[in-house]
Amino acid sequence: MSQLLSRTDQPAWWRARSGSNSGGGTALGLGLVTLYLSLLVLIPLGAVVWKSQSNGWSGGWHQVTSPQAWAALKLTLTISAGVALFNLVMGTIIAWVLVRDDFPGKSVVELFIDLPFALPTIVAGVVLLSLYGPRSPAHVNIAFTRTAITVAMLFVTLPFVVRTVQPVLIELDRDMEAAAASLGASPFVIARRIILPNLVPAMLTGTGLAFARAIGEFGSVSLLSGNLPFHTEVSAVNIYNQIQSDNPVGAAAQSTVLLAIAFIVLFALDGLKVWGRRRG
Amino acid sequence: MSIAVRNVTKTFAQFKALDDVSVDIPTGSLTALLGPSGSGKSTLLRVIAGLDTADSGTVQIEDRDATNLPPQRREVGFVFQHYAPFKHMTVYDNVAFGLRVRKAGKAETKAKVDQLLELVHLEKFQTRYPAQLSGGQRQRMALARALAVEPRVLLLDEPFGALDAQVRKELRAWLRRLHDEMHVTTVIVTHDQEEAMEVADEIVVLQDGRVQQVGHPHEVYEHPANDWVMGFLGPVTHFGDLLVRPHDLDLAHEPSDDAMPATIVRVTRLGFQTRVDLDADGEPIYAQLAREATDRLTLDPGTQVHVRHARGEALPPSAPDSVPAAVEEPLAAEAQSGRAQVR
């Protein structure tokens, strides 16, 4: 009705205005989002990248490949990848148990899964240090070892795969499995050819997110790992130390590398989603 | 007997889905399990397929005790209400699944799948994913998938429930033709009495987990075992103390011995038939008249008429085999609704 009115009974200037009204609303929203993202994300990220090459790109790269920074980067990527893969398996199993099994205290377990999300990571560090540190009540002392880094990263990345796989598993049509069974498929074949292919996109998304989270982990790792150069110093701590020792260019260069890796992972995840959607 | 269900009982928590159910499904027949929701019809189908296990009782398939067999070994084709397509597989891979599980050869699989896709008119869609198909196409794909492994019995759970009316009618007729060509023992679950009467050779009427009546569609319609079955299978109205079909009521202007007087309240023309609402001594009843009768009578609200039951005691009950069942008579529903007569 209002459309009808605007077409016929209203003056030309109003028609022109109202005609572009919806477009104007979209433009305003888009502008706001762009501004916000620019101030909050794009400009700071740009500044870091800019800073990293203030001594030229080769200068920045030289900083990244300095023995201590390079060792930190290799350590970070190796442990993060291992942690992400471990999460892929354990997270999927946990999601499966939470969706398909019923047991007393299930809601409590659900709550604990989210704890690493809610907890400040430094608190996680304190918790882990008091349990697995030099004064461990269980006499398990892993402080200042690479195991400590692994444990800390496992703790903070626990929810990712669980929380991406769980909803997909809930939505998964149980009749698909029944159909496969009545067509003669064994439980193993059903798991491999029916369930797994439907979970793979979610499993990989969760793993990617866990990896991206792990490479940037600082709080929980810094307390327990001891930050020994060439041994237990991760990139995030290395960046912090470079700032402390007044080497902002080195810090920015190292940050740019982590940024690039995180970007690549996110891009890959996006591609995965498109692929998953195409297959319905 | 292709399927013999004996004294099956199944309880979910507090709810008794099946209560001492015994049913025989003859080889090569198309049987409908008909009942309202919660009557246990779907549960019975799942118990036959082994997707649910009975608390007690036995299931025989082709003279083999299947009570404790897993679904994998029952040689049953199951078509789910929402088709349960393998949505990560193409149409071709969906249909080929059962054959591949059985480690059939590549050439053999391809020949069989091609043949089935042609049968269900999906040859052109074999590289599509289920999400790219319409409801009717998905349904036909599910049927081809179930038929691929050459099951001893084909079980369909509300196969047309999620389709719109037009597609539903087409698929129904198509399924009936398919069955007449293939002669696979088929059991179809439905809550739609018209659907059951149109496709089935035999109808098993279920209510509250119990079998109410088993018989040919015509038999169940004309000689319902009780008032509930009568009411479930078609429209009913009252004639005195009797529960009758509104199209079995005749109207006349002249009184007769077996007629009772009533006043016309409302006349509604529904295409080829007319619904006449009446007030019979305070009780609202209605009659359904054929066009020819409508034309002959003066039907004005407020007019007094005389109502007579056209199929009173005088008529002998018809023997089931002397009556053409819905099998030979695809327009059974139409034939029944055209039965109203007026003298």
Q: At what angle do helices A174-182 and B135-147 cross, to 10 degrees?
A: 30
| Residue-level pLDDT at B342 | 37
Prediction pTM value: 0.77
In chain A, residues with a C-beta closer than 8 Å to the C-beta of B88 are 197-198, 279
In chain B, residues with a C-beta closer than 8 Å to the C-beta of A193 are 97
Above 50 in pLDDT, residue B314?
no
- Tell me whether residues B101 and A197 touch, CB distance under 8 A: no
| Residue-level pLDDT at B329 | 36
H/E element, B93:
helix B91-101
In chain A, residues with a C-beta closer than 8 Å to the C-beta of B91 are none
pLDDT one-digit tens code per residue, A254-264: 899 999 998 89
| Residue-level pLDDT at B95 | 96
| Closest Cα in chain A to B130 | A280
| Closest Cα in chain B to A187 | B72
| Closest Cα in chain A to B84 | A176
Bridge partners for B153 per DSSP: B76, B185
| Residue-level pLDDT at B343 | 36
| Residue-level pLDDT at A174 | 93
In chain A, residues with a C-beta closer than 8 Å to the C-beta of B76 are 182
Mean per-residue pLDDT, B104-128: 93
- Tell me whether residues A184 and B101 touch, CB distance under 8 A: yes
Q: For chain B, which residues lie within 8 Å of any Cβ of chain A, measuring from their own Cβ? A: 49-51, 70-74, 76-78, 80, 82, 84-88, 97-98, 101-102, 129-132, 142, 145-146, 148-149
In chain A, residues with a C-beta closer than 8 Å to the C-beta of B50 are 182
Burial of B199 (0-12, 13-18, 19+ CB in 10 A): buried
Above 90 in pLDDT, residue B162?
no
Above 60 in pLDDT, residue B276?
yes
Confidence of residue B106 (pLDDT cuts 50, 70, 90): very high
Above 50 in pLDDT, residue A4?
no
Report the residue from B71, B85, B86 with minimal CB separation from A182.
Answer: B71
Interface predicted TM-score (ipTM) over 0.95? no
Confidence of residue B312 (pLDDT cuts 50, 70, 90): low
For chain B, report the end-to-end CA distance as a whole number of angstroms: 46
- Tell me whether residues B101 and A189 touch, CB distance under 8 A: yes
Handedness of CA B127, B133, B137, B138 (dihedral sign): positive
The C-alpha of A189 sits at a distance from chain B's nearest C-alpha, in angstroms, of 8
CB pairs under 8 A between A and B: 70
Report the residue from B51, B84, B148 with minimal CB separation from A176.
Answer: B84
Mean per-residue pLDDT, A60-71: 86
H helical segments located in chain A = 2-8, 12-19, 21-37, 43-52, 57-64, 67-100, 106-118, 121-132, 146-171, 174-182, 187-189, 196-215, 219-225, 235-244, 248-278
| Closest Cα in chain A to B101 | A185
Report the residue from A184, A186, A197 with minimal CB separation from B98.
Answer: A184
| Residue-level pLDDT at B322 | 37
- Amino acid letter, B40: G
| Residue-level pLDDT at A270 | 82
| Residue-level pLDDT at A23 | 55
- Residue A109: what are its φ and ψ, rounded to 5°? -60, -45
What are the strands, taking DSSP E only, across B56-121?
56-61, 64-65, 76-79
For chain A, report the end-to-end CA distance as a whole number of angstroms: 38
Higher-confidence residue of A2 and B191: namely B191
- Tell me whether residues A184 and B50 touch, CB distance under 8 A: no
Report the residue from A179, A198, A279 with minimal CB separation from B78.
Answer: A179
Report the residue from A179, A186, A279 with minimal CB separation from B88.
Answer: A279
